[in-house]
Amino acid sequence: MKTAIHHLASRRHWIGLACAALCAVASPLAWAQDYPNKPVKLVVPYPPGGPTDIVARAVAQKLQERLGQPFVVDNRPGAGANTGAEAVARSAPDGYTLVVATTAHAINPALFTKLNYSLLKDFAPVSQLTSGPLVIVANPALPANNVAELIALAKSRNGGLNYGSSGNGQSTHLSAELFSAMAGVRMTHVPYKGSAPALTDVMAGQVDLMFDTMLSSMPHVKGGKLKALAVTSAQRSAAAPDLPTVAESGLPGYEAIAWNGLLAPAGTPKEVVARLNTELKAVLESHEIRQRFEAQGFAAAWSAPAAYGAFLQAEVDKWAKVVKASGAKLD
């Protein structure tokens, strides 16, 4: 009798373990099929109106249409884009809190003496979103209309020329530092909390110039409130084919680009990441989004999660060298 009871208990034990194992496998799959079943928060670590915010809102709208749940943009600027990134790194890894990363997040590991998160360890890469050049824009009254004249003016003023950026350590900051180092000039850096307020001061004449994304700058150029001197990519941009590159108009060898991408907290189920990646592929390959981004100087740039992870590693390594050469450091 005892033996029979023992065998029955043992059998129930192994059946229970088998069911638990099956549930462990099935649960993420079921979760992914059901995802999302509530609003998704898309954290943008910059103020409203800037290039990252513009990209995020366009992508959020399309994801909402495809997945049937609100994708809510949550602007959390501060600390060189680290405030928003850290908040997402500490969020539940369930796919309902995501962050739109930028070139700045690849720069920050070398720039900041202490970060409370790791770009490469605390996030699960989902996909790159965009890639594109920066453009040097200036107040229309600035007495320089091309790169050669800008370099000459900067040398004559010896630090008296100032430039705005979307924040310390952003691509809009270090691309200008790279320019200054290669041109052998000194310019004074004026950091802002995002591109939008910086551009406002350039247009008002409070700041002389800025290295900014075409997405946020070119509408003001077309409106006559800013003048564009050059793009920072190796080739001219299809969005402004008459605008020369920095390299061809006075500073050979210069190149700097900006990008956006989507990250989830580390530990987010792979099935959820894969679902997001699949939907993003459809969004970024749509004619509407491609046209919308390309008209502003950005290219839609979908990538598989593993490829985006490799890209992030390469970006961290590349910008570490630029930061070291510039001598820039932030606490």
Please check whether residue 188 is in contact with residue 159, taking contact to mean a CB–CB distance below 8 angstroms.
yes
Please check whether residue 272 is in contact with residue 34, taking contact to mean a CB–CB distance below 8 angstroms.
no
Range of the domain at 271: 36-132+258-326
Whether 21 is in a domain gets the answer no
**138 and 241 within one domain:** yes
pLDDT of the residue at 11? 55
pLDDT of the residue at 13? 53
302 φ, ψ to 5°? -70, 150
Whether 103 is in a domain gets the answer yes
Residues 6+ apart with CB under 8 A from 251: 147, 151, 179, 182, 183
**161 and 305 within one domain:** no
As a whole number of angstroms, the longest Cα–Cα distance in the chain is 101
Q: Decide which of 198, 225, 249 is a domain's last residue.
A: 249
**214 and 267 within one domain:** no
> What is the total residue count of the chain?
331
**263 and 244 within one domain:** no
Q: What is the pLDDT along the chain (331 residues), one digit of tens a residue?
A: 545 444 444 555 555 555 555 545 445 455 567 899 999 999 999 989 888 999 999 999 999 999 999 999 999 998 889 999 999 999 999 999 999 999 999 999 999 999 999 999 999 999 999 998 999 999 999 999 999 999 999 999 988 999 999 887 788 989 998 899 899 999 999 999 888 999 999 999 999 999 998 878 988 999 999 999 999 998 999 888 999 999 999 999 998 988 999 999 999 999 999 999 999 999 999 999 999 888 777 889 999 999 999 999 999 998 898 888 777 788 7
**Tally of CA atoms within 13 A in the half-sphere of 289 that contains its CB:** 23
Residue pointed to by tokens 């450091």: 329
pLDDT of the residue at 319? 87
**94 and 41 within one domain:** yes
Whether 236 is in a domain gets the answer yes
pLDDT of the residue at 198? 96
CA distance 120 to 296: 30
Whether 27 is in a domain gets the answer no
Whether 23 is in a domain gets the answer no
pLDDT of the residue at 8? 46
**220 and 277 within one domain:** no
pLDDT of the residue at 294? 84
**What CATH number has the domain bearing residue 208?**
3.40.190.10
**127 and 114 within one domain:** yes
Residue 230 pairs in a beta bridge with 136
**237 and 88 within one domain:** no
Cβ neighbour number for residue 56 with a 10 Å cutoff: 26
CA distance 131 to 278: 19
Residues 6+ apart with CB under 8 A from 204: 139
**159 and 264 within one domain:** no
Whether 331 is in a domain gets the answer no
**What CATH number has the domain bearing residue 315?**
3.40.190.150
pLDDT of the residue at 238? 84
Whether 24 is in a domain gets the answer no
Residue 61 pairs in a beta bridge with none
- Which tokens is 170 given? 């952003």
Q: What angle do CA 212, 217, 221 make, to 5 degrees?
A: 130
pLDDT of the residue at 322? 81
Q: Decide which of 249, 269, 298 is a domain's last residue.
A: 249
Q: Decide which of 209, 227, 249 is a domain's last residue.
A: 249
Give residue 90's region: left, alpha or beta (phi > 0; psi -120 to 50). Answer: alpha
**238 and 142 within one domain:** yes
pLDDT of the residue at 87? 98
Q: What is the DSSP letter of 245?
A: B
pLDDT of the residue at 194? 85
**293 and 232 within one domain:** no
138 φ, ψ to 5°? -140, 160
**245 and 148 within one domain:** yes
pLDDT of the residue at 330? 83
Whether 22 is in a domain gets the answer no
Residue pointed to by tokens 């943008």: 44
- The pTM assigned to this predicted structure is 0.77
User: Quick one: which H or E segment has residue 317?
Assistant: helix 305-326
- Which tokens is 212 given? 């900014």
What is the number of structural domains in the chain? 2
